């Protein structure tokens, strides 16, 4: 009698062990996969919010600097306001192209004045008016936002549409690095503000 009880107990134990280690049904795996989609969407929403928050901070820095100081540099190694705004215009045009293949429209001279490997000049006559440059900067940013918000969350993990030259692997990377890039230049304008005796933004 005791042997039968032990045998029955072992069978119950093996059955319980199999149930613990059983593979989840296809229905269960589907629910798990579906639950992951909102997480991607939340990450994208967070990245977009970060880009827009940094941009607002930059706008406050730009508008707080007087136009007659557009060429001001603390030292020759600093980026002045004029170059910074024009540079951001060219970079946002590039960022937009990496998301949807369409670069913002800019005058061809901007890439020489403000693009990759360009340097700030102290010659005011070499530049367009600050208002014009600001206008192109805001238009390029607006096109980037349109491209950024027009992508589906699932597209964000895909490769950039145009060549990033190693700057970003995915479209999500573009958003993250766009915020970093504008934040970097916002900090430089913060140094100009301090040198001019202006109040800090933050």
Whether 41 is in a domain gets the answer no
pLDDT score recorded for residue 24: 46
Q: How confident is the model at residue 38 (pLDDT cuts 50, 70, 90)?
A: low
Whether 95 is in a domain gets the answer yes
DSSP string covering 25-74:
PHHHHHHHHHHHHHHHHHHHHHHHHHHHHHHHHHHHHHHHS-GGGTT--S
Whether 15 is in a domain gets the answer no
Rounded distance, CA 33 to CA 87, Å?
42
Q: At what angle do helices 26-64 and 81-100 cross, to 10 degrees?
A: 160
Q: At what angle do helices 26-64 and 171-195 cross, to 10 degrees?
A: 20
Q: How confident is the model at residue 112 (pLDDT cuts 50, 70, 90)?
A: very high
Whether 6 is in a domain gets the answer no
Whether 104 is in a domain gets the answer yes
Residue 145: which residues within 8 A CB-CB, separation 6 or more? Answer: 51, 52
Whether 26 is in a domain gets the answer no
Q: Which domain holds residue 170?
A: 57-202
Whether 20 is in a domain gets the answer no
193: domain CATH number is: 1.20.120.450
Q: Which pLDDT tens digit goes with each residue over 142-187?
A: 999 999 999 998 899 999 999 999 999 999 999 999 999 999 999 9
Q: Which pLDDT tens digit goes with each residue over 83-97?
A: 999 999 999 999 999
Whether 13 is in a domain gets the answer no
Q: 139-171 as b/e, with b when 16 or more CB fall inside 10 Å?
A: bbbebbbebbeebebeebeeebbeebeeebebb
Q: How confident is the model at residue 2 (pLDDT cuts 50, 70, 90)?
A: very low
Q: Which pLDDT tens digit goes with each residue over 43-75?
A: 999 999 999 999 999 999 999 999 999 999 998
Q: Tell me how many domains the chain contains.
A: 1
């Amino acid at each position: 009698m005791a042997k039968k009880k032990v045998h029955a107990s072992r069978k119950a134990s093996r059955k319980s062990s199999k149930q613990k280690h059983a593979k989840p049904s296809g229905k269960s795996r589907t629910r798990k996969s579906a639950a992951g989609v909102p997480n991607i969407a939340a990450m994208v929403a967070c990245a977009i919010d970060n880009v827009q928050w940094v941009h607002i901070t930059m706008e406050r820095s730009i508008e707080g600097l007087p136009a007659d100081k557009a060429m001001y540099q603390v030292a020759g190694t600093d980026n002045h306001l004029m170059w910074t705004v024009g540079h951001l215009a060219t970079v946002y045009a590039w960022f937009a192209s990496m998301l949807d293949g369409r670069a913002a429209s800019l005058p061809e001279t901007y890439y020489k004045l403000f693009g990759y490997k360009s340097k700030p000049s102290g010659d005011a006559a070499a530049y367009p008016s600050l208002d014009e440059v600001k206008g192109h900067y805001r238009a390029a940013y607006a096109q980037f936002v349109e491209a950024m918000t027009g992508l589906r969350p699932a597209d964000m993990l895909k490769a950039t549409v145009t060549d990033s030259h190693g700057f970003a692997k995915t479209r999500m990377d573009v958003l993250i690095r766009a915020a970093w890039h504008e934040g970097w230049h916002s900090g430089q304008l913060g140094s100009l503000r301090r040198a001019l005796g202006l109040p800090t933004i933050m």
